[in-house]
Structure 1
Amino acid sequence: MITATPRPAPLSPALLAPRPSVRSARAGDAAALAGLSRPFMRSGALRERPASLYATHAADFLVADAAGRLDGCVGLRVHPAEPGECRGSAGVLYNFCVAAHSQGHGVGAALLRAVLAMARAQSLGALFTATTGDGALFLRYGFAPSTAGLAPRSWAESLDPRRNARILARVL
């Protein structure tokens, strides 16, 4: 007879980390959004955007806020259906990034869950994004490879073919 008490397996650091707080960005977050995005723009993972965009379009963004420090962000731009189209309004996720020190800790997943909920609340029919990475997080959350022809025309036409980005979509 064995009387030893089993020890629980140690928890991973990701499970011990507090869940990130996701909130809507404010105009005052513009400098932090630009700073968070800058390394990703330099690496080519994000398109170049002027710092002024973050103040002008702050309402598009959700941010992961860790005690006043922004650890991640994602923008959601709504594209109403164009005249003659059979689809409803669609959303485009853009400028999705997570600070290097927060990657692997659920920040991206929290942002994606929040932006999906926001898109549903706005009754969007589908979400699109373009990524130069593997898109694994998007794929885990129901996105699938798509084409520019199915995406909002103005957004699809703005994509730079030299970036060789994959278009992913999710029907809501």
Structure 2
Amino acid sequence: MSLAPALAPPPVVRSAGPHDAARLAALSRPFVRTGALRERPVSLYAARAADFLVVRGPGGGFDGCVGLRVYPAAADGAEGSAGVLYNFCVAAGRQGGGLGGALLRSVLDRARSRSLTALFTATTGDGRLFGRYGFISAEPDRAPRAWVRELDPRRGARILRRAL
């Protein structure tokens, strides 16, 4: 009798709450140190907790997270509301196992349920994972102006867009 290796259960993605702020900050800290993420205080994670989807790790901390901020249609002729993905990260020891994909699929579902017409993100990385989910390079004038104004040009991030 041959025993097949047990398959790992699929990651469970859930919404974050204000009580998760310290764990969001802890997960993000290594990425802040490398310059991949901007530093955010725990109080901001608490205030914007409803933006976040998370994957909890076996030790109780978080293995991954992504925020989705909604920007209503602008009076300048934008066709619909857009979302911005931010603070997307997967713990170093858990990368390559599908957690990032699970988070992106879940945030895409959330964006569709909110009738968003496009998603944007800024990345300092290679963007391959985003590319697998339909994101392409975009000019800043296509993105929500308020968000573009907050970007730090010294970081050299590329803007990516996905139509919904």
Q: State the TM-score, normalized to the length of structure 2.
A: 0.93
The 5 A counterparts of 1:1-172 are 16-67=7-58, 68-172=60-164
Structure exhibiting the larger radius of gyration computed from Cα positions: 1
Q: Deviations over 1:73-124 (max 9, x none)?
A: 0000000011132310000000000011111111000000000000000000
Q: Which ranges of structure 2 fall in alignment gaps of 5 or more residues?
A: none
Which amino acid in structure 2 is aligned with residue 143 of structure 1? F
Distance 1:79 1:37 in 2: 23
Give identity over the alignment, percent. Answer: 65
Distance 2:157 2:76 in 1: 28
Q: State the TM-score, normalized to the length of structure 1.
A: 0.89
Q: Which ranges of structure 1 fall in alignment gaps of 5 or more residues?
A: 1-6
Aligned residues: 161
Deviation of 1:16 (Å): 3.2
Distance 2:55 2:79 in 1: 31
The answer on whether the counterparts of 1:127 and 1:170 sit within 8 Å (CA) in structure 2 is yes
Runs (4+) of structure 1 moved beyond 6 Å? none
Q: Deviations over 1:131-153 (max 9, x none)?
A: 00001000000000001100000
The answer on whether the counterparts of 1:20 and 1:66 sit within 8 Å (CA) in structure 2 is no
